[in-house]
């Protein structure tokens, strides 16, 4: 069974419909890239996948042992996040909070998990440094390590390369591909045309007639032709 199955979703907020008839799957090993113009419903879909917002219609089923708290989430960076006055170790370790249960303190298992995530992403040597003093690429690796502490199944990444230079962007994409090849399903929301090359599946959201299929199917579609012509969907 798929990790996430969405059938004919209608999404919106305050009773106002944003997008309807949205159907797609996220299976083990998938790399799903979610595209769409600003206001198309990507943020609303993220909140729905994280069970932070109710859908207006349709169904969303989580299977294959996936629980909502096991989706590792890397949000868009805000100025507050970029200037957060904490050490790298404190930030990554906070990603294990959902595993602490009723414990008041982090235990050996949580600390082991945080260290493994940091070593996997090559940032263990940064653990004592203050987050605010690091580069954009280092900060994204740290936040990705934090997200990894919550999951061994699904990572949800919201515009993760925004503000990164081309070299760091390429390194970040290669890192997500590596994690995907190790068995973690990736859901990446992006405006970047480069993201398509790393995906196994594409969900291109429009208010009507959204696209879902393999990357190969997408690259033969009119959706891709328009997206390619525009060079990606730019921020307003």
What is the domain-level CATH number for residue 158? Answer: 3.40.50.300
Are 145 and 162 within one domain?
no
Residue 45 and residue 36: Cα distance in Å, rounded?
Answer: 11
Res 39: pLDDT = 83
Are 11 and 106 within one domain?
no
Looking at 128, 151, 174, which one is the last position of a domain? 151
Are 97 and 172 within one domain?
no
Are 217 and 140 within one domain?
no
Looking at 151, 173, 198, which one is the last position of a domain? 151
Q: Is residue 73 part of a domain?
A: no
Q: Is residue 181 part of a domain?
A: yes
Q: Is residue 116 part of a domain?
A: yes
Better pLDDT: 36 or 128: 128
The pLDDT-based confidence of 92 (bands split at 50, 70, 90) is very high
Are 163 and 235 within one domain?
yes
Are 111 and 41 within one domain?
no
Residues 144-155, mean pLDDT to the nearest whole number = 94
Residues 40-47, mean pLDDT to the nearest whole number = 92
* Beta carbons within 8 Å of 48's beta carbon, 6+ residues apart: 9, 11, 54, 55, 60
What pTM, to 2 d.p., does this model score?
A: 0.90
The pLDDT-based confidence of 163 (bands split at 50, 70, 90) is confident
pLDDT beyond 90 at 84: no
Q: Is residue 71 part of a domain?
A: no
Res 80: pLDDT = 47
Buried b (16+ CB within 10 A) or exposed e, 213-226: bebeebbeeebbee
CA end-to-end distance (rounded Å), the chain: 38
Q: Is residue 190 part of a domain?
A: yes
Mean pLDDT over each residue of the chain, to the nearest integer: 90
Q: Is residue 72 part of a domain?
A: no
> Where in the sequence is the domain holding 41, given as residue range(s)?
1-66+153-236
CB atoms within 10 A of CB 201: 21
Tens of pLDDT along 190-213?
A: 988 899 999 999 999 987 789 999
Are 215 and 158 within one domain?
yes
The pLDDT-based confidence of 143 (bands split at 50, 70, 90) is very high
Are 50 and 85 within one domain?
no
Q: What angle do CA 175, 119, 66 make, to 5 degrees?
A: 65
Q: How many domains does the chain contain in total?
A: 2
Res 231: pLDDT = 65
The pLDDT-based confidence of 88 (bands split at 50, 70, 90) is very high
Tens of pLDDT along 50-72?
A: 999 999 999 999 999 998 889 99
pLDDT beyond 90 at 105: no
Residues 78-87, mean pLDDT to the nearest whole number = 69
Are 54 and 165 within one domain?
yes
Looking at 116, 131, 151, which one is the last position of a domain? 151
Residues 22-35, mean pLDDT to the nearest whole number = 97
Res 98: pLDDT = 79
Res 106: pLDDT = 87
Are 146 and 83 within one domain?
yes
Residue 166 and residue 212: Cα distance in Å, rounded?
Answer: 28
Are 157 and 62 within one domain?
yes
Res 99: pLDDT = 75
Q: Are 205 and 45 in contact (CB under 8 A)?
A: yes
Are 115 and 99 within one domain?
yes
Q: Is residue 55 part of a domain?
A: yes
């Amino acid at each position: 069974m798929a990790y996430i199955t969405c059938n004919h979703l209608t999404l919106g907020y305050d009773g106002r419909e944003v997008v309807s008839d949205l159907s797609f799957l996220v299976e083990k090993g998938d790399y799903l890239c979610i595209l769409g113009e600003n206001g198309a419903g990507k943020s609303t879909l993220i909140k729905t996948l994280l069970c932070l917002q109710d859908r207006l219609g349709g169904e969303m089923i989580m299977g294959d042992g996936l629980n909502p708290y096991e989706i590792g989430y890397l949000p868009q960076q805000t100025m507050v996040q970029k200037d957060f006055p904490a050490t790298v170790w404190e930030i990554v370790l906070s990603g294990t909070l959902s595993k602490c249960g009723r414990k008041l303190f982090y235990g050996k298992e949580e600390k082991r998990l945080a260290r493994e995530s940091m070593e996997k992403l090559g940032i263990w040597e940064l653990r004592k440094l203050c987050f605010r003093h690091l580069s954009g690429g280092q900060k994204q690796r740290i936040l990705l390590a934090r997200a990894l502490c919550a999951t061994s199944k699904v990572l949800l990444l919201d515009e993760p390369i925004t503000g990164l230079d081309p070299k760091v962007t390429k390194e970040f994409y290669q890192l997500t591909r590596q994690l995907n090849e190790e068995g973690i399903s990736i859901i990446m929301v992006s405006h970047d045309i480069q993201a398509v090359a790393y995906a196994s599946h594409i969900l291109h959201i429009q208010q009507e007639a959204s696209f879902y299929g393999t990357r190969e199917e997408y690259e033969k579609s009119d959706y891709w032709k328009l997206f390619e012509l525009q060079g990606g969907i730019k921020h307003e």
